[in-house]
Amino acid sequence: MDRKEFEAFLAENQTLLERSEKMIQTMEALEKANDELRQELQAAQENLKTLKANLERENPQADDGLRQARERTSNVLKLLDEVGERRPDM
């Protein structure tokens, strides 16, 4: 191997080394972004669990309110029917 071949070899090695360093930096950046995304996902999943728990806790209350409203409406309709039966002019 003469000096010219050796210098070409060194230049090629330097290029490969620089490319490797850039790839390592890119991988580190991707790993950091991946970790951040995992943390965001975990936070979103925890928020979703909280929202589901709140919805499950509030839903029976809403159902109970609707049930009470239906009962009251039914009672009012029954009373109107009874009044109508007693008063033929209605």
Contact of 83 with 90, CB cutoff 8 Å: yes
Of 85 and 20, the one with more pLDDT: 20
Residue range 16-45: mean pLDDT, rounded: 96
Contact of 84 with 90, CB cutoff 8 Å: yes
H runs (alpha helix) in the chain: 3-86
Q: What is the pLDDT of residue 78?
A: 80
Residue type at 4?
Answer: K
Q: What global pTM score does this model have?
A: 0.53
Express each pLDDT in 50-89 by its tens digit.
Answer: 988 887 777 766 677 778 888 888 888 888 877 777 666 6
